[in-house]
Amino acid sequence: MSNDFPCQFPGCNQTFRRPNGRTQHYNAHHRPVSPDAEPDPAHEFWEAFHAKLTALPCDENGKFLSQFAIPTPAVKQDETGSNAYHPFEDRLAFDWAHYHFVQLQSSERKINRGLDLWLAAQVKAGIDSPLPWSSAQEMYSTIDEIQEGDAPFETVHFQYAGILPPNPPSWMTIDSNL
């Protein structure tokens, strides 16, 4: 079957087997761009305000700010001065703890091994500053110091309190933490 349908655009020598191929070619390569006859409703914006609940930005005293004013950032309770990573020393300590505790969910043994390697790298580089933690337990304590909102972190200890059968399973005799 030959290409019986030539492109009708001046100077284009393309030919096609079917009329729909020619139409697609024309629309993709030669169709003139024209403005829309009507505006696109997706590009129209409007604002509606509740009579009393306007959600307009205001300062800590309730005084409304101008429309383009940048509100002052709220100081979080867990930030101290310039350290946004409090209770961690810095970003590196935070990232290290997050990586091992949250992402990898490393065991205590593996965290201690990682701390040993970190210390060895510092010694090799001639850096004599101490690590943020000397053990996984110290890192856990730092994680426990994270304050979100005004509710303090609490560890709840619990243990099975019912009557123990002869040869009880281990979960009935261990002290657990939540």
What pLDDT, in 10s, does the model give residues 109-156? Answer: 999 999 999 999 989 998 888 899 999 999 999 988 887 777 666 778
Answer whether residue 121 is part of any domain: yes
Rounded Cα gap, residues 129 and 119, in angstroms: 9
What pLDDT, in 10s, does the model give residues 51-63? Answer: 777 677 777 788 8
Q: Which two tokens stand for residue 52?
A: 């009393």
DSSP, residue by residue, 7-22 = --STT---EESSHHHH
- The percentage of the chain sitting over the pLDDT mark of 70, rounded to a whole number, equals 84
Q: Tally the domains of the chain.
A: 2
Is there a contact between 135 and 115 (Cβ–Cβ < 8 Å)?
A: yes
DSSP, residue by residue, 48-109 = ---SS-----B-TTSPBPPTTPPPPPPPPTT-BTTBTTTTSSSHHHHHHHHIIIIIS---HH
Is there a contact between 98 and 153 (Cβ–Cβ < 8 Å)?
A: no
Q: Which among 6, 4, 148, 20 is positioned nearest to 77, based on CA atoms?
A: 148
Answer whether residue 16 is part of any domain: yes
Q: How large is the average pLDDT for residues 26-34?
A: 82
C-alpha 135 chain-centroid distance: 28
Give pTM, 2 decimals: 0.43
Rounded Cα gap, residues 44 and 53, in angstroms: 24
Q: Which among 164, 145, 165, 167 is positioned nearest to 155, based on CA atoms?
A: 145
Here the CATH number for the domain that contains residue 8 is 3.30.160.60
Answer whether residue 160 is part of any domain: no
pLDDT of residue 140: 92
**Can you give the residue range of the structural domain that contains 11?**
1-31
Answer whether residue 43 is part of any domain: no
